[in-house]
Every structure is written in structure tokens, then in C-alpha cells.
Chains A and B, each alone.
Chain A
Amino acid sequence: MTDTTATIEAVRQADMRATQAQSASSQSAPLVELHDLTRTFMRRGKPFDAVSHVNLAIVSGQFVAVTGRSGNGKSTLINMIAGLVRPSSGYVRVDGHNVAELSDRDISLLRNQTIGCITQSQTLLANLTVIDNVILPATLFDHCAQDTHAADTTADGLQHRAQTLLDQLGIADLADSYPKELSGGEMRRVSIARALMNHPKLLIADEPTGDLDAESTVIVMQLLRAAADAGTAVLMVTHDPDALEYVDRTYRMDRGMLTAIA
């Protein structure tokens, strides 16, 4: 199979998945719903919209990518969805909750149990080992999302799940290492394992393949695809054209405005 044939095949598969996902979306309520979402910042004393009047709906099992040049509001958009940045106007609904109206505990609970975040920058805790970093989200609240997945919430159960995730990402041997001992790519994979730890309904990934080589990119994207296939809604911001092969739908963010790419 030539490269061109392979690309065509990938696009065809993506189209098929998009059709299936659109079909699913018509059948179920969106897990994520953005309505007229705007975030205004001040730059040199003048207001500008980092995100401008964005509307978007993502259903469970859908894998959505947002592309666009740096500084066009992609990260601000996904961080408003995660409740990390408040909208100036419009609203974000995640799993039926208006994110801006939630109390600190409730938004924290939503972030912990419904959303998994893979951030662009390194956010592993330096004083915890890799395995403890991965387990950490599962230990913050007493009643974790595992309830719905009938997962083992004992210390051994959490350890086993974290080890399995590390294994799937090809970094099982790094479980007892500290973040400072890892490369950028390895840290990114640990972040992904941590984001998946609580079986999130929504996975938000900001440049998940940014520091990875081609082989690692495939591993990560296959894992995200598998998560989507298992029913997780995945929203990914990326500059990586290879990553787009795995998604159901692609949007472009330009000067804060979101447009679908056919």
C-alpha cells in the first residue's frame, strides 16, 4: 500500500466514523454543549475575544479535533469546557451541568470524575512517582467515577488499573520513576494515563502528541480512539495532521471563531 492509498483509506475510515458519530449524536443528548460561548481578554488595554460566539455539541463516543494556529483561542476554549476559565458570555454544559454555575466542590467533582484533562504543559507532581501521579485523581474524592464502571476502588485495585494504563502506553517500567527522570514524551504519556484513570466521560486533550515521535503518536492516538470507541467523548486540540486520522470530526479555530471542516 502506497502512502497516498493509506491516506485515502484513513480518510475514508474517518468519514465512516464521523457518519456513525453523527448518527449517534442525533440519537442521544450531547455530553458537551457550548452555546454562544465567548471569552474576552484585555490586550494592551483593548478587549479582544479569544473565543467568540462558539456553538458546539459533542456526544458520548465522539472524537472531535480542533485545529488552528497558535493564539487563536483553542486552549481557552477547552479550558472553559473544563471549568478552568470562566466564560464572559454564553455557557458550557457538561453532562447536564452548566459549568459556570457550579460551586467549587461541584466543579472540582465534575473535573475529577467526568472530565479527564491532558494539558499542553507538564503538570505531573514532581514529588510523586509516576504510578502515584496516575493514581492521584482516583484518591481525591470518596465516591469516584469507578462506581459506574464497577471498578475496584481498593488501594490494590487502583494500583492495578494505573499499572495497566501505563502498560498500554508502553511506560510500565517507569512506574517507580519520578517526573524529573522522564523525557517530555514519557511525561506526556503519564499525563494521558492519569487523565484516563477515573474512566472519564469526557477526555480533553491539549496537544497530546506534541512531544511524541511517530511510534508513540500511534500508541497515544490508538488509545484515545479506543477510549472514544468505548463511549468516552474526546475533544482534542492538535497541530498534528497524523492525529486527525483518528478523529470523527475536525473543527478549525480562527481568531476565536470555530468552523467545521468538511
Chain B
Amino acid sequence: MANTVRNNTLRTLASRNLAGRPVRTGALLAVVTILALAFFGGTMFTMNLNTGMTSMERRLGADLMVVPQNTAQKAEALLTDGNPSTFYFTKDIVAKVKQADGIAQASEQTYIASLAAECCAEKLQIIGYDPATDFVIEPWVASQFDGTLEDGQMIAGANVNVSTDGTVELYGRRWSIVAQLAATGTNLDNSVFINLNTVPEMVAASAAVSQRIMPEEYAHKAISTVLIKVAEGYDAQTVAERIKDLDPSFTQLGYVYPGGITATTKTALNALVTYLAVFVAAIWIMGVIVLLAVFASSVNERKREFASLRILGATRGMLASILLRESASIGLIGGVLGVSIASLAIFPFSTLISRQLQLPYLQASLPAVFGIMILTVLCAVVIAIVGSVIVLVRVGRPEAYLVLREGE
């Protein structure tokens, strides 16, 4: 029973000390909350960007994209996080391009930007691909759809709103969605995928309800890009030169190197992550200084309080226990508050952040998020405890009574 009384008293003493000094407790809590918020927010942000980058790298399986004249930028935007667009050349060019040396695989795709569809707040990118030759979409789709994409069917990107009956309405027609893909953090999340045979159907449907998306004569021969995987021993630039050698007019075509896009995006992303790291580090340095200052300012007050406890027979271990309970509580509460506030900003506005950044931004996996949450709270507890050590060292002097005499 005495044991229970003892434990209760020591535990209560720490919490009563916190409650009894609301200004000091509030200041410490505010600092720890800001530190946790900066750490968790910054880490999540960085992690989401890296996840988006990794995802983008995985999805861009082609080494080279050959696109129509003056459309290279549109094609790049389509790969990252730009607006949907429509561009095309004709199939006969594709056949010629495929004859160049150094090509291991080649597959064509057609890009059509829909109008603002009923199902979505923004325009959808419609991507027609050839399941027979495709080496970019299929490996990615395979994890969620193992059948063959029939004519008139669609596979939807992660952000596409699919109605409860499993369809999407485009150009006044309901298209059957056979699978919905995992998020990539790129514009592909706002895309629907159809096979190339469905493209003319889409063109006809558009003509029926609104402005035709391309002239009828192009519906069966419009191709937006030839995706090329280069053969062993070739690089993408060399293959591009070989294609240009096939026909003088091919020098006018656009050549996009997804690897280069990845590198450019990576550079932008690294710069952002560096700024972010510097910002978080600056907040932490300032926060730790403030934390130490608040703890240091309480030393004299605590010295008197702890000298009183020493006189009553408290051991140094008991004093340390009281102080650690106080600082750990502040760290825990501040850490949880920081993580909660940061979560309120990060998770509900993930899509908005992604759109504003114009960079691949993909929510990290749940275990990773929980891991960072726990790590943040742990860091908050540790930093609060480290801050309180300054008090512990200074009140731990052997002759407690001398403390009481100071200022008398």
C-alpha cells in the first residue's frame, strides 16, 4: 500500500508541477510542438516527393519518345504533372521510325485530352496504347488487371472518379472501367487507358456530342508518340540520331528522353528537399535554443524546489525521475500535437499540394507514415529530456542546503 502511495505521489508531483506552472509548461509545449510539426511535416513532404519520384521512374519504362514537331514539351508535361493535351502524327511515320537501328522494343500511344467531363473536376488525359506491343503500361497494369483490355473498355488512373456501376462518362457515353490503378503521383493518375482500336470510337463519340477531337480521317491513323526501348549497347541519343538519318523530315520531330526528364525532375526535387532540410534544421536549431533557454531560466526555481525535496529525504534518483517525467510528458504531448497538426495539413490537402508543386508527389505507405509519426514523437521526447538534463545537472550539486541559502 505504501508503495502505491509512493508511486502515486511521485507521479502526481510531476503532473502537478506541470499544471502549477502553466506559462512555463505552455512555452515548453509550444516549442516542442513546433519542433515536432517541422520534423514530421518536413519528413513527410520529403518522403512523399521521393515516393512520387520513385513511382515516376518505375512508370517511365521507355528510353526514348518520338513525338510530333513542337510537341516535346507537351509530352514531357504529360509524363510529369502537366495539363492533358492532344497531339498526333500519322501511323506511316511510326512504321518508318521503327526501322531504325538500335531499337529493342517500340510501341505507339495516342494521347487525347477530353473536355471537362462530368465525372471529373478537370480534364482527363485519354491514352490509347497497343496491348500487343506495349512494354510501358502493361507491366504496371498487370498488378491490378490480368485480362486483356477489350475494345471499348478502359483502365482508370487513381484519381479518376469511377461511378458505382464501374463506368466513366465521356462524350455522352458510359465507358466500362475494368480496373483502377494505384497512384503514381504523376499526370497518369488523371488518365484513362484504352486500346488503340477504341480511339476511333472515342473520336466518333466526341463528334456526336461536342467539338470533334480530331478530324475523322485521322481517327484510325493518329499516333501521338512512339515509345522506344533501345537495344543493348545503344543509348537513346544515338538511336534518335539513327531515326533522323532515316528521313530528313524526321529532324523536325520531337525527341523526348524520359531518363532526362527524370533527371531534371530529380534536380528540382533535390533542390526543394535541400531547402526543406535547411528550413527544418533552422527551426530545430532555434527551437532547441529556445527550449534550453526556457529550461535554463527555470533552474533557479527548480534548485530551490529540489533542495526542499532533498531535505525531506529524496534521493538524486527521485529528483531525476520527477524531472524526467515532466520533460517526457512535455515531449510526448508536444510530439503528438505536432504530428496531429502537421497531419491535418498534409493528408487532406495531398492532392492540392501535388498540383501546386508540379512535381511527382505520392503519399508514402501507411507503415512508413506510422513509422515517421513514432519517430517524431520519440525525437520530441528525447529533445525535451535532453533539454531538462541542464536542470538536472545544475540541481544535482551535492550540497543542496547551499542552494537554499542563495539569495537569503
Contact = CB atoms under 8 A, between A and B. Distances in A.
Interface in A94-114: 104-105, 108-113
B399 A140 contact: no
Interface of A: 75, 79, 82, 84-86, 104-105, 108-113, 117, 119-121, 123-128, 132, 135-144, 153-155, 158, 194
In the A-B complex, list the 10 residue pairs whose CB atoms are closest, starting with the nearest: A112-B313, A127-B20, A84-B401, A123-B308, A139-B9, A111-B313, A108-B315, A127-B16, A79-B401, A153-B2
Point out which of B1, B5, B9 has the most chain A C-beta atoms below 10 A from its C-beta.
Answer: B5
B1 A155 contact: yes
A158 B4 CA distance: 13
B5 A158 contact: yes
B13 to A, nearest CB: 7
B164 to A, nearest CB: 59
Contacts, number: 101
Given A125-B309, A137-B312, A153 B1 contact: yes
18 contacts: A84-B311, A84-B401, A85-B401, A121-B405, A123-B311, A125-B13, A125-B309, A127-B13, A127-B19, A128-B13, A135-B9, A136-B312, A139-B9, A140-B312, A140-B318, A141-B6, A153-B1, A154-B2
A75 B21 CA distance: 31
Interface of B is mostly: helix
Nearest to A121: B404
Interface string B1-42: 111111011100100110111000000000000000000000
Nearest to B15: A127
Contacts of B21: 127
B312 A144 contact: no
Nearest to A112: B313
Contacts of A123: 304, 307-308, 311, 404
Nearest to A114: B313
B312 A126 contact: no
A225 to B, nearest CB: 23
B401 A142 contact: no
B310 interface: yes
Nearest to A118: B311
Looking at B308, B311, B408, the one whose CB has the most chain A CB atoms below 10 A away is B311
A119 B199 CA distance: 93
A107 to B, nearest CB: 9
A106 to B, nearest CB: 9
B17 A127 contact: yes
Interface in B103-122: none
